[in-house]
Structure 1
């Protein structure tokens, strides 16, 4: 069993998604089940409905789970484990108040010493504190494990002093609930962020204390850096999976990018299904990797190119195949669905011809050409029918339209083509008009609009 264990306390971070992807891939490679465990033990920070959002995101990315569990449903089992540890003399009640511990931490700080809990403190305040916590005795031996990315890691006994496993309200701490659930669900391998490295020896100690003999595999992923070179934080928009999706990045492109980060992949562009065939967690670099939005944009464009016109149209929210084809043409200039939507919105919105000034104004020419095209529409010279799809027919139709418009308007050269582009696309520069003309022609009546004019 492999597991992904998100907390419903915030939006999914790309680091979380990356860990989910790797756990999913390894589960498929090993023929083991993939478990989603919602770690909802922090009731104060849990956000209502956030678990559903996380599950919807995983589903969108094709990370389908075999089992779904909520950590809070196992509280009674966690408490039973803690009771067993107390009876066996491996855990104890600690009556220290928060104020007492804070004072000891301050004393250690002033003495320039690392803070370590002293087991002799456990009952000093027994008469003052009716709600003790439960602590697990620290380790008397070093605890080591082999990390598939970082190599051999070892923690000395003085790094593992006695720590809390049940809070004063009986709720298990993160490390205790996590270690117990990994036992309960027979987890075999864990991929997670390197911020959990310090938690791993504690979780190993918990399982050892409970007499659990199974050897778990670990891989701790290096942190992801933002464009500033510092650890990516929630302030970095690109760290949010929801933000990336809202910007028009495809789930398959995001997966492609996250797998390739700090990794030498046999292919540049690939799907999750293909990656399962060759992915190896040992190939992930040990050092932090910077999130490169430009690289993601390139990968996204390549995935968009693989879509047919029908698929593209549906992603743009229409069943018009011509619009899908037009959207694909704009991949010459755009990398995300949002950028393509912006291009299409300019086409179908009234044009503000006064906004285009490039050393000279094209407003008079735009108005003159607009009147010409309106007349041509009335004469059916710009018919609403679909143009023939052969290259020769497309070229002939565009040439006929262009020549008649030039003749009727009396405009030539830049004074004709610049206004024509503005009126048809809402932009003064762009891809060849002859290439997009066949897809614009069926919509001329909707396209030919000037802001402020009927």
Structure 2
């Protein structure tokens, strides 16, 4: 069983989606189920409706999963197992105030040392604890020996007791910290492989230690993907939802994220094709960089491959000719949104072509009264006959009237694809 942890407090980012994609691929390769876990234990940070939005994104990428579980549903287990750890003297109540902990951290910084908990509350007697009438957190005692594990991509890791320290597992309000909740949830859900980001490696060590403290001895394998370097990736404007709104196809985004830092047999592929040849050993262990320009190129190639009728529907029509028209604009466009802007210009109300104001009016009037004309050369001949316009006095304003701009593909290529819409294009 594999799992994907989706946050209820932040929109899905590029790195989050990349983790989802690799979990999905590995689940298919191993013929294992994939479940989705919504991390919603921290009620103060949860954003209403974000879980549904993130699940809709997974559906856009054709990520199928066996079940959706909410972390908060396991709260009773998080608390029950905390009591077990405390009864076994493997965890303890910590009454230290935030001010005291900030003071310890400040002192450590001044001395140039890493901040570590001083262990004061660990030494309190049961009698003293009973006499204290104050809120407390629960800390797990730091390990007595090193925590070692092997990452299937990056190799061996070794964390000392000082690295882990006596960390908090339960907040003042008795809700679990994320590492603690994840460790227990992975136990309950019998997870066998976890694919996550490189910056979660220290969290992995904590979670392994939590499970060991609870007597859980099943080995969970880990794959930590290299981080994506891009200072803008945490911005909302660079969320997966925003990329989709900008006109990037899900198939292209998935293609790029699987390609990124990976040896692949071909540059352009679908997720289904990637499942066939994917191997962990081909992923680079080096930090990688998100390149929006590369994504644009890949997106353009997928737009060129898409069925014309489907492209037409994505553009708001149901006409193969509009799909073909959209592909004409791929010479100057990279995304669905950019193509749609070109199509929208064609159907927008035309004002005037600069330098050809009178000619523009004459052409619009002529086309409003024209019969259906199948051939572009016949169209030009008809306009010339009824307006006496020719050469640039005809070509420039006609280009503007039919496309809403002065550049772009040749009208001889465009006209056969829009001839059925001339009445709508030259409407008042």
Q: TM-score category by the smaller chain?
A: over 0.9
Question: Structure 1 residue 365: deviation in Å?
Answer: 2.8
Which residue pairs with 2:25 in the alignment? 25
In 2, Cα distance between equivalents of 1:55 and 1:350: 39
Inter-partner Cα distance in structure 2 for 1:116 and 1:370: 77
* Equivalent position of 1:437 in the other structure: 415
Is residue 4–residue 37 contact of structure 1 (8 Å, CA) maintained in 2?
yes
In structure 2, the residue matched to 1:223 is 227
Matches within 5 A, 1:60-99: 60-99=60-99
| 1:363 corresponding residue in structure 2 | 357
CA contact (8 A) 1:96 1:123 kept: no
Contact 1:27 1:34 in 2 (8 A): yes
Q: Any residues of structure 2 matched to 1:354-393 within 5 Å, and which?
A: 354=353, 356=354, 361-375=355-369, 377=370, 380=371, 382-383=372-373, 387=374
Number of aligned positions between the proteins: 424
Unmatched segments (≥5 aa) in structure 1: 388-396
Q: Secondary structure at the match of 1:138?
A: coil
- 1:244 correspondence with 2:210: no
Aligned to 2:343: 344
The aligned runs of 1:255-294 (5 Å cut-off) are: 255-294=254-293
Q: State the match for 2:7 in structure 1.
A: 7
2-side partners of 1:287 and 1:6: how far apart?
Answer: 25
**Structure-2 separation of matches of 1:369 and 1:133:** 78
Residues 134-153 of structure 1 show CA distances to partners (whole Å, capped at 9, x for unaligned) of 21111122222222333322
Aligned equivalents of 1:259, 1:311: Cα separation in 2: 24
Stretches of structure 2 that go unaligned for 5 or more consecutive residues are none
TM-score (norm 2): 0.94
5 Å matches for 1:145-164?
145-164=149-168
Which of 185, 188, 195 is the aligned partner of 2:192? 188
Tell me the residue number matched to 1:393.
none
**Superposed CA RMSD:** 1.9
Partner of 1:428: 406
Is the CA contact (8 Å cut-off) linking 2:147 and 2:159 kept in structure 1? yes
Deviation at 1:129, TM superposition (A): 4.8
1:96–1:121 Cα contact (<8 Å) kept: yes
How big is the shift at 1:421?
0.5
Query: Relative to structure 2, which stretch is displaced further, 10-19 or 147-156?
Result: 147-156
Q: Could you tell me how far apart the structure 1 residues matched to 2:359 and 2:351 are?
A: 13
Q: Describe the SS at the equivalent of 1:165.
A: strand
Cα distance in 2 for residues equivalent to 1:88 and 1:371: 89
Moved more, 329-338 or 127-136: 127-136
Decide whether the 8 Å contact of 2:198 with 2:224 is kept in 1. yes
TM-score (norm 1): 0.88
SS of residue paired to 1:114: coil
